[in-house]
Amino acid sequence: MTGGLADLAVVDPALAERVGVSAVQVGIVLVGGPLLLGLMGKLRARAEGRVGAPITQGLADLRKLLHKEAIRAEPTSAVSAMAPVVLVGSAAVAAALTPLVSTRPVSAGGADVFLVVYLLLMGSIALALGGLDAGTAFGGMGSSRAMTIGAISEPALLVGILALAVQARTSNLPGIVKASLAHPGWLASPQRILALGALVVVVIAETGRIPVDNPSTHLELTMIHEAMVLEQAGPDLALTTAGEAMRLGLLLGLVANLFFPWGVADSGGGLAIAVGIFALAVKASALAALIALIEVSTAKLRLFRVPELLAGGFVLAIVAVTIGLVSR
């Protein structure tokens, strides 16, 4: 940059591109999360012989909730006000950092596995605190259950991704995706198969799908997530719902890109980004369809057997890491 141009172009074009990519990713996760939920609902309904709500129902619900009056239970503190914001904020930051559309989001060097997993964990904690804040029995019960499950599923998520990190010799998420793009032979390696099994279990648990939690009922014996948000209404509920949908979209997109990195943009340029968006949509929809299929074909597990399911996922992840460490 020289002379007069420097005044106009104070922003480095490469940085601007990265920021643009990140903004696109956050937007996609924000819109795509509810759409994926809608898709899963639609597939389930069709498999059960119902017509089902349109795929865009989630977005319509969000719009409706946002126009409602903001109302909170009387004894709630600032935690209730902050919880939905922290949930959405942490999901948005994680979405901006992870390689969803392109391997070059903003601050790609800092997009570490641990950072992204702990950003997601921050959202879960905020949600659990929000559930406790109103002081009702259901909120506390839901939070306690969510934390019990989270305590087993978060390590499995971390260790599962670590298996890929060992193979790629970097814990940087864009680095892992880039390395997998460069070595197509890795996609079939034993540790990846085991890690994929582990992460599918984790995604089901983290997003509260059927063998772990049933998102469509309010049955006090079994509900986990719905119990935490019982006291929320209006814009708060809209934010929480959006945050949960974003986490679902983010996790599905992350798992899809880590294991099947085809189509992720590795260079700048509008065309590569467009291909990346299209590929992400296809892959995330395919994974969502797989999870919907699991939901239709299994019954909800008894709460006390959920740790068994998650322990299975965790052990698969551990074995994957072991194979990766020993056989490299």
Partner 1 sequence: MRPGAELDIVELAGGVVLAAAILALWRKDLRALISLLALQGVALATLAAVLAVHDDDVSLGVVAGVVLVAKGIVIPGLLARVVRSDPGSRETSPLVNVPASLVAAAVLVVVSYLVTGRLSSLFPDALTRLAPLGLATVLVGFFVLVTRRKAVSQIVGLLLVDNGIALVAFLLTAGFPLLVELGASLDLLLVVVVLQVLTTAMRARFGHVDLDQLRELHD
Q: Which residues bind partner 1 (CB under 8 A)?
A: 185, 187-194, 197, 307-308, 311-312, 314-316, 318-319, 322-323, 326-327
CB 199 → partner 1: shortest distance, Å?
Answer: 13
Instruction: Considering the complex, state which of residue 10 and residue 326 has its C-beta at the smaller distance from partner 1.
Output: 326
CB 285 → partner 1: shortest distance, Å?
Answer: 24
CB 233 → partner 1: shortest distance, Å?
Answer: 39
CB 191 → partner 1: shortest distance, Å?
Answer: 7
Percent helix / strand / coil, the chain, rounded to 5? 75, 0, 25
CB 295 → partner 1: shortest distance, Å?
Answer: 17
* Residue position matching structure tokens 């809608």: 38
Instruction: Considering the complex, state which of residue 193 and residue 294 has its C-beta at the smaller distance from partner 1.
Output: 193
| Contacts for 326 with CB less than 8 Å, ≥ 6 apart | none
| Contacts for 216 with CB less than 8 Å, ≥ 6 apart | none
CB 149 → partner 1: shortest distance, Å?
Answer: 14
Instruction: Considering the complex, state which of residue 113 and residue 309 has its C-beta at the smaller distance from partner 1.
Output: 309
Closest to 175 measured CA to CA, from 71, 85, 257 = 257
> Residue 199: in which H helix or E strand, if any?
helix 190-206
Instruction: Considering the complex, state which of residue 234 and residue 307 has its C-beta at the smaller distance from partner 1.
Output: 307
Instruction: Considering the complex, state which of residue 217 and residue 327 has its C-beta at the smaller distance from partner 1.
Output: 327
Please answer whether residues 91 and 250 qualify as being in contact, where contact means their C-beta atoms are separated by less than 8 angstroms. yes
Mutual angle of helices 57-66 and 234-259, in 10-degree steps: 150
Please answer whether residues 291 and 209 qualify as being in contact, where contact means their C-beta atoms are separated by less than 8 angstroms. yes
The DSSP bridge partners found for residue 102 are 265
The encoded tokens of residue 216 equal 């469509």
Instruction: Considering the complex, state which of residue 89 and residue 197 has its C-beta at the smaller distance from partner 1.
Output: 197
* Residue position matching structure tokens 């978060």: 154
* Distance from the Cα of residue 94 to its chain's centroid: 9
CB 195 → partner 1: shortest distance, Å?
Answer: 10
Q: Cα–Cα distance between 292 and 198 in angstroms, integer?
A: 17
